[in-house]
Structure 1
Amino acid sequence: MGSDHETLDSARDQWKRSTTALERVHQTIEQTTAPKTAGDIAEEALVSEPTARKHLNSLVDIGTATAVEEGTGTKYTRNEDTLLYQRIRDLSTNHSRETLLENVQTMKQQIRDFEDTYDAVSPEELATSLETNPPDGAWEAVAAWQTTERNLHIAQAAINYSRARDLGAATK
């Protein structure tokens, strides 16, 4: 057990030595899906609470993080819109238009298969039709269908983003 603790301490020390406080706060907030206090972020990012708050406020200002006022004070979380934009931009940069179009066609077929298999036009319709004892795998199918729809829209957005970027470059 001691070696696990030593390994974790060593990894934290290495992370602290190889990054700035801002980088650690930024990396921590990117992994944060539920709002957390500056103190919680500070502990995870290995910085003081005032340092975390300073960097979190800067990240809020540039749109990377979101501040949520609650009765107990301000909590911070990642900005989902910024992450979505980054994912779209990364897809458009790292994958060819042809690959993205192939993936779009594959996902459209997967959605048609869900529609045929479950006799529903959307995952929401499937979810509302499920009884108290749904068939095995039905809720997993709802989640998979929702994920496929989301990924389809993201891939389509990446295609459109790439096209808009190319058209913008052509007009310079």
Structure 2
Amino acid sequence: MCVSAIALCMTDEAPSPDGPNEFPSEEELPDNPVTVDDIDPFSVDDDDSDDIDDFAAAEWKTNTTANERIRTVSNRTTSPKSAGDIAETALVSETKARETLNKLAEDGIVRTHQTDSGQLYDRDPDWHLLKQIRQLASSKTLVNQIQRVKQELAAYTDKYDATEPEELLISDKELTQTELDDISHWRTAERSLSYLRAAYRLKEAKEQAVTVTDPGDRQAGNQATTHGRNHSPLQ
């Protein structure tokens, strides 16, 4: 009894290592040429990505409140958008979105823009900047970040023998793409250093604040606060 393979059951000859001895006839071949997609063993459902998005949206909606989602979306809105657009992204009603956005506008977190098509909203850049500075001020690596950026700026200064990137832009030299990229990174580093320095000043101010423990300290603290207000902010 043959049990090893169907082919051995049908013939006493061992299969050729070079392949089958017989091939399909011309009539047995398909009319259209076979492509890679035809022989791909895996099937791909175009709706899978939609299902994943729907699942993520449902999970986000389950784990957050409507106000939290509106704040998250508004915090990422850098160009004015309508309450309806923000509501769609935040998975809330337009009425709820408008109500919360107006409250955020009163708190200075969101800006409003009145247009012919209605009121638009985006995040307040000043509030967002102050938020970033507060976050930097609480970083344990703040000093290291400042030193790293200062080293980066020093490297650009030495490389181009210039104190600021604008010197390269106004020079008569034709700049390469690499040099233009360096100018862009140089400007970013300068901006980052200004944020980091502001964060450091904020951190210093917090550390120097007097902790009130008794009436005597309270009076001293009030005097120190009043005295500090008479001085201009650190430059």
After TM superposition, the score normalised by the length of structure 2 is: 0.65
1:134 counterpart = 2:179:
no
RMSD: 2.0
* Separation in 2, partners of 1:4, 1:152: 41
1:113 counterpart = 2:155:
yes
Return closer, same or farther for 1:73/1:122 CA change in 2, 3 Å cut-off.
Answer: farther
- In our comparison, the structure showing a higher alpha carbon Rg is 2
Following superposition, the deviation at residue 128 of structure 1 comes to 4.0
Following superposition, the deviation at residue 83 of structure 1 comes to 1.8
**1:61-72 maps to which residues of 2 (within 5 A)?**
61-72=106-117
Return closer, same or farther for 1:71/1:117 CA change in 2, 3 Å cut-off.
Answer: farther
| Equivalent in 61, 65, 70 of residue 20 of structure 1 | 65
**1:16-55 maps to which residues of 2 (within 5 A)?**
16-55=61-100
Following superposition, the deviation at residue 30 of structure 1 comes to 0.9
Q: Please give the secondary structure, in 2, of the residue aligned with 1:120.
A: coil
Aligned residue in 2 for 1:82: 127
* Separation in 2, partners of 1:13, 1:33: 25
* Separation in 2, partners of 1:74, 1:130: 47
> How many residues end up aligned between the 2 structures?
168
Return closer, same or farther for 1:138/1:72 CA change in 2, 3 Å cut-off.
Answer: farther
Deviations 1:85-106 (A, max 9, x none): 12211122131xxx42332222
**Greater helix share, 1 or 2?**
1
Return closer, same or farther for 1:17/1:108 CA change in 2, 3 Å cut-off.
Answer: same
Return closer, same or farther for 1:52/1:128 CA change in 2, 3 Å cut-off.
Answer: farther
Q: Please give the secondary structure, in 1, of the residue aligned with 2:61.
A: helix
Using the TM superposition, name which of 138-147 and 40-49 deviates more.
Answer: 138-147
Q: Please give the secondary structure, in 2, of the residue aligned with 1:140.
A: helix
Aligned residue in 2 for 1:59: 104
Aligned residue in 2 for 1:7: 52
Question: Which stretches in structure 1 are left out of the alignment for 5+ residues?
Answer: none
Following superposition, the deviation at residue 8 of structure 1 comes to 0.3
Following superposition, the deviation at residue 130 of structure 1 comes to 7.6
One-letter amino acid of the counterpart of residue 71, structure 1: D
* Separation in 2, partners of 1:49, 1:67: 16
* Separation in 1, partners of 2:170, 2:84: 41
One-letter amino acid of the counterpart of residue 105, structure 1: Q
Following superposition, the deviation at residue 135 of structure 1 comes to 0.4
* Separation in 2, partners of 1:35, 1:126: 35
Following superposition, the deviation at residue 113 of structure 1 comes to 2.0
Question: Which stretches in structure 2 are left out of the alignment for 5+ residues?
Answer: 1-45, 212-220, 223-235
